[in-house]
Chains A and B, each alone.
Chain A
Amino acid sequence: MKKYLFILMAVATLCSCGSTSQMTLDTQYPKMYEEKPTSIVIMPPINQTNSVEAKDYFYTTLHAPLCEKGYYVYSPMLTMEMFQHESAYDAEPFLEGSLSQFRDVLGADAAMFTIIKTWSRNNIGGTITANVEYRLRSTKTGETLYQREGHITVDKSVYTGSSSKGLLGALLDVAATAVSTAATDKVVAGRKCTAIVLQDMPEGPYGTLYDKDQKNAAGAPIVKKTVQ
């Protein structure tokens, strides 16, 4: 019995999170805990790619993950109408500038900026890639509270094993990969990117770990991953 307990302890220790040298959330993102933002407005994404649609499509995917982090997040549909009326559809000027108007008009504590750097599909290789930077800025002080970047590739390639049967089999795999990749909406990579990047964002007031996650491990500033 003792032997098993020992093994269990050893396994638990091996699995327990990270090394002691790893950054914790309060050392990586101290301003999140100083300012304790409650409400977040999602700014129109800044699109640095040639994919014109990336901006509007990606914008709709940010709301739910941020709500799940425990914040009040203004409805993207309603704020987008406001941005268009107030000629703030392009967020670039606000990335470094004053955000006080969003505090005055909305009551938002912070603004989430996203910069889309890659939004692409490779049918032959079977991959969809989204590289996005996330930057949360205080509307009060203008300071950056949270910043992280994701380089996420979704692998849609098909391996039937038929390639071992020669050239025809390999060609069939290439064709199947191209079909499966072309049929997948690029927004899938954007969604995965947001989900993976925001994993280490400190939780807001509606979250179960609010003000309890200071010592949790923070992730790398740039997270690179390939997912299925």
Chain B
Amino acid sequence: MKKILLVFVAGMFLLTGCETVSPALYSWYDSEDATYQYTKRTTDQTLANAMAQYEMVVKNQKAARKVVPPGINAEYGYLLCKSGRQEEGLTLLREEMRLYPESEKFISRIVKQLEK
């Protein structure tokens, strides 16, 4: 039994080799591809897909930090404002500033523009 265990451990060393890979900080789901497709061809369908993915990312963070990744609350909030869901959108933009104070300078300008 011990023999098997040792072989297994040695095998793991071999497999993992030199790269130290940190665990993912955030859960992205398909948001990267959805925003890419939306950039590539802006249609109602690609926008709807991107919005659905943003919602997943905002609501279901299961990776190491358990926090919404930088920029996502802002992007999703901005798109919500553009599609007429102003209050919901502004709440997310403010959430971006709360989670990431370094974003305040930029995001507060956008909030001001949208509030006009």
Contacts and interface: CB of A to CB of B under 8 A. Distances in A.
Contact of B22 (A5, A8, A73, A207): A207
A71 B70 contact: yes
B70 A73 contact: yes
A11 B2 contact: no
B2 A1 contact: yes
Nearest to B36: A60
B64 interface: yes
Interface string B87-105: 0000000000000101111
Interface in B18-39: 18-20, 22-26, 28, 31-32, 35-36, 39
B110 interface: yes
Interface in B69-93: 69-72, 74-75, 78
Nearest to A77: B75
Contacts of A217: 18
A7 B103 contact: no
Contacts, number: 112
Nearest to A5: B6
Contacts of B6: 4-5, 7-8
B36 A73 contact: no
Interface string A25-45: 000000000000011000000
B106 A105 contact: yes
Contacts of A72: 70, 100, 102-103
B18 to A, nearest CB: 4
A66 B39 CA distance: 19
A57 B40 contact: yes
Contacts of B72: 75
Interface residues of A, number: 45
A16 B105 CA distance: 44
B22 A208 contact: yes
By DSSP majority rule, is chain B's interface helix, strand, loop, or mixed?
Answer: helix
A59 B40 CA distance: 11
A221 interface: no
Contacts of B10: 7-8, 11-12
Contact of A74 (B16, B28, B65, B71): B71
Contacts of A106: 105-106
B64 A208 contact: yes
A97 B1 CA distance: 64
A216 interface: yes
Given A12-B13, A16-B18, A75-B71, A57 B28 contact: no
Interface of B: 2-3, 6, 9-10, 13-14, 16-20, 22-26, 28, 31-32, 35-36, 39-40, 64-65, 69-72, 74-75, 78, 100, 102-106, 109-110
Given A57-B36, A72-B100, A105-B106, 14 more contacts: A7-B10, A8-B10, A11-B10, A15-B17, A39-B102, A56-B39, A60-B35, A61-B36, A67-B26, A72-B70, A74-B103, A77-B78, A106-B105, A208-B22
